[in-house]
Structure 1
Amino acid sequence: MKILILTNEYPPNVYGGAGVHVEYLVRELARADASSSIQVLCFGDQEMDGSNLRVRGVDRIMQSPDTELRYPELQNTLVRQLSMIGCADAADIIHCHTWYTHLAGCLLKQLLGGRLVLTTHSLEPHRPWKAEQLGPAYNASSWMEETAYRNCDGVIAVSKSMKEDVRRLYKVQEERIGIIHNGIDATEYRPRTEPEVLPRYGINPQKPYILFVGRMTRQKGILHLINSVPYCSADVQMVLCAGAADTKEMEAEIFSRVEEVRRESRKEIVWVPQIVPKPDIFALYSLAELFVCPSVYEPFGIINLESMACGTPVVASKVGGIPEIVVDGETGLLVPFDPENTDRFSRDLASAIDSLLASPERLAAMGRKSRERVKRYFSWQSIARQTWEFYRRLAS
């Protein structure tokens, strides 16, 4: 079987959960079926040839000699997708990840005759804050997404909640949707004891800390977490590994709020704005007392798997696919999110954090159960097998 995978993110250009998903899924798909051929087209200058895996990046961007581009991200995305069309080999399955490749997927379905598969990492109607980043181009990204769902042959939803959203928003028939969770490589993400890593990021190794890892976007709820700091009674460091801001305005807003909370509460907030390389992030996860995921919208939340695989329990918002990962009271605590009462959410986050930090024995037990759950239910090998089964059903 010939598989074509279209994605904007692919190593080394990975900045979010969708990119992590594609990286590991592609690796395991290639390992699981050596008789298949897999072509990956992505944004960038990547180039790799394996026995049954070929990766090509498209980095062509739009040039306008006379004026600035009015919608630069949208226009460059469209140009890259048109480049993908010219690079694509024949395929039985055309598998798209995120709206950045949906137009290319729809056109290639017509050109190549393959079956079009979409993995639902997120849905534009649930991300209205993207209008801050894209402006009117958000309407175009939403239209491309809807068009792809209207024309696809199959959908892989990363959680039960995403399946219901796809059915409700885009009227996709239930029999065309499969639920296949994201996964984790538990041999790579595992507990580490490397305290020498901490000072590199301004973290005091002699003092406990709680950890946030994520993009600077309203979706990830980072401002709600920062607002929870004054309500926390525990004497801990709050470490924010937060990079890749949606907009310069968002980055400035977060920086301003961090400085304000530091000044008013005299609590320690360590902000790490750069992308932390994998060997170091393993240590940061492992050495944290707990991990906090305050997302206001999270189709799955692969970041929680990363923390749990490193033996660190999670305090997370009870939204989207997160309850399918974090077992409340067993591998962490879930906090309901009410968009009409965000101050209550920040207070409840602080309360959950304090309650776990007050019981080291409970924290340790949750950490052990977290890793056990990840190893049992979320291996990439299992996700790849399920994906191959989905492909074969669709192709037949």
Structure 2
Amino acid sequence: MKRIAFISEHASPLAALGGADAGGQNVYVGEVARQLSLKGYQIDIFTRREETALPRIVAFNDTIRIIHVDAGPAEDIPKETLLQYMPAFRDDMLYFIQTEQLSYELIHANFFMSALVAMELKSLLGIPFVVTFHALGHIRRIHQGDNDRFPKERIAIEERAVREASMIIAECPQDRDDLITYYHAPVDKISIIPCGVNTAEFYPIAKATARSLLGLPQHDCLLLQLGRMVPRKGVDNVIAALAKMHCERRKVRLLIVGGDADTTTELQRLQQLAAELDVKDRVLFAGQKSREELKYYYAAADLFITTPWYEPFGITPLEAMACGTPVIGSNVGGIKFSVAEGKTGALVPPQDADALAAKISSLLRSPATLEEMSANAIRRINKLFTWELVAQDIHTLYEKVTGNNTLYPDSFFSGQSIRL
């Protein structure tokens, strides 16, 4: 059995989603590991201990273990301040490897701090690594400016990781282009492998059934915004768009799912905005929900809306489409890759509430179009974006790096245009 190590310093598959630092990367790490384990891999996922009571080792399944690494205080710490603890992370991970007498064929680093640890373990132990950055410091700086609280060393670490990694996984064509433009990454070192969706977890449910289970009105138009409550996600843009819609025959409501104690300030800002724009009675803040509940929220909605300023990939549009819900998303990053304009939904400029309001109104007035988009969305997910397909491409990549596949075919996404 092939043994590999995942490093995901701040994003554990065990974490509850929807908080400030818990989102797509947590899902990615858990789902990719799960699918790779079905292909004969034995996987250890190294992630930072955030609670004293957590055991050192948690069995995720028969062939996947979560290893809690001691690095800094055993408490929830914003990821922007974790870089200082990476030497301790490296040392404790090295101690575990040596104590358990483990030998890994490969390390898969997730995020730039994990890549830093992977580079140092490569130097010490000779283990090759691949990296999925999930987000890039250069791009974050462009969009966040002075609000970017990551340390300035981030970009230098990413540049070094680009040079030292055996392969780099770009999650969409925009990610690949950014790696080439801003990091001078060699084209032949990049493989486009997207995120995916678990179709056993997210699948179509009759809208009336979903609304009944959630206690939502059957005859209103329902818009859904679901994800982390942080400013760059553009939830305020959706609230502003709702305020501009006054001519619909049916009442239009906005359901906002996500947020926890770590995002209280942002939630309060959004609630205040809804009150100021006089749409407080049409906006429902549902709070954080379990993974098991999310499919009902997706299925209950007429449209899923996600308009971040930028988005490295974005898993929530895939989850919505897997449930048969059309998506209106920002024409940025991974969203413009996953959402097929005019077929599974629509793309709009970010931070443009007028354009968003117009697109919502247009689609809500055409039930036939929404029905066709729903069917298209399900087909697109099953054709391109399941975790099984993602894991197959990653497996092929691993085979290339470890020398087990001399005739290496490019990722399905590397050399083809993507059509529905």
* Deviation readout 1:321-374 (Å, 9 max, x if unpaired): 22221111111011133xxxx4xx111011111111111111111111111110
Aligned to 1:382: 389
**Number of residue pairs matched by the alignment:** 374
SS in 2 for 1:163: helix
SS in 2 for 1:304: helix
Aligned counterparts, 1:1-396, within 5 A: 1-7=2-8, 8-13=10-15, 14=17, 15-32=22-39, 34=40, 36-44=41-49, 45=54, 47-48=58-59, 50-62=61-73, 72-76=81-85, 79-88=88-97, 89-128=102-141, 129=144, 132=147, 134=149, 137-192=150-205, 193-199=209-215, 203-233=216-246, 234=248, 235-243=251-259, 249-261=265-277, 264-265=278-279, 268-274=282-288, 276-337=289-350, 342=351, 345-396=352-403
How far 1:208 sits from its partner (Å)?
2.9
SS in 2 for 1:5: strand
The amino acid of 1:5's aligned partner reads F
SS in 2 for 1:243: coil
SS in 1 for 2:360: helix
Aligned to 2:415: none
Tell me, yes or no, if the aligned pair for 1:216 and 1:246 is still in contact at 8 Å: no
Q: Distance in 2 between matches of 1:204 and 1:126?
A: 41
How far 1:196 sits from its partner (Å)?
3.9
Q: Distance in 2 between matches of 1:316 and 1:211?
A: 12
Tell me, yes or no, if the aligned pair for 1:2 and 1:37 is still in contact at 8 Å: yes
Change (3 A) 1:303 1:78: farther
Tell me, yes or no, if the aligned pair for 1:62 and 1:76 is still in contact at 8 Å: no
Structure 1 vs Structure 2: percent identity of aligned residues? 28
Q: Distance in 1 between matches of 2:221 and 2:87?
A: 46
Q: Distance in 1 between matches of 2:60 and 2:198?
A: 23
For structure 2, list consecutive stretches of 5 or more residues without a partner in the other structure: 404-420
How far 1:267 sits from its partner (Å)?
5.2
Q: Which runs of 4+ in 1 moved over 6 A?
A: none
How far 1:312 sits from its partner (Å)?
0.4
Change (3 A) 1:77 1:210: farther
For structure 1, list consecutive stretches of 5 or more residues without a partner in the other structure: 64-68
* Deviation readout 1:134-175 (Å, 9 max, x if unpaired): 3xx431333333332232121011111101111111111111
Change (3 A) 1:197 1:74: farther
Q: Alignment RMSD, CA only?
A: 2.4
SS in 1 for 2:258: strand
Change (3 A) 1:49 1:373: closer
Change (3 A) 1:299 1:72: closer
Q: Distance in 2 between matches of 1:254 and 1:265?
A: 11
Tell me, yes or no, if the aligned pair for 1:314 and 1:326 is still in contact at 8 Å: yes
The amino acid of 2:68's aligned partner reads G
* Deviation readout 1:270-299 (Å, 9 max, x if unpaired): 11232x112211100001011001022112
Tell me, yes or no, if the aligned pair for 2:86 and 2:117 is still in contact at 8 Å: no
Change (3 A) 1:130 1:106: farther
TM-score, normalised with respect to structure 2: 0.82
TM-score, normalised with respect to structure 1: 0.87
Tell me, yes or no, if the aligned pair for 2:344 and 2:376 is still in contact at 8 Å: yes
Tell me, yes or no, if the aligned pair for 2:6 and 2:108 is still in contact at 8 Å: yes
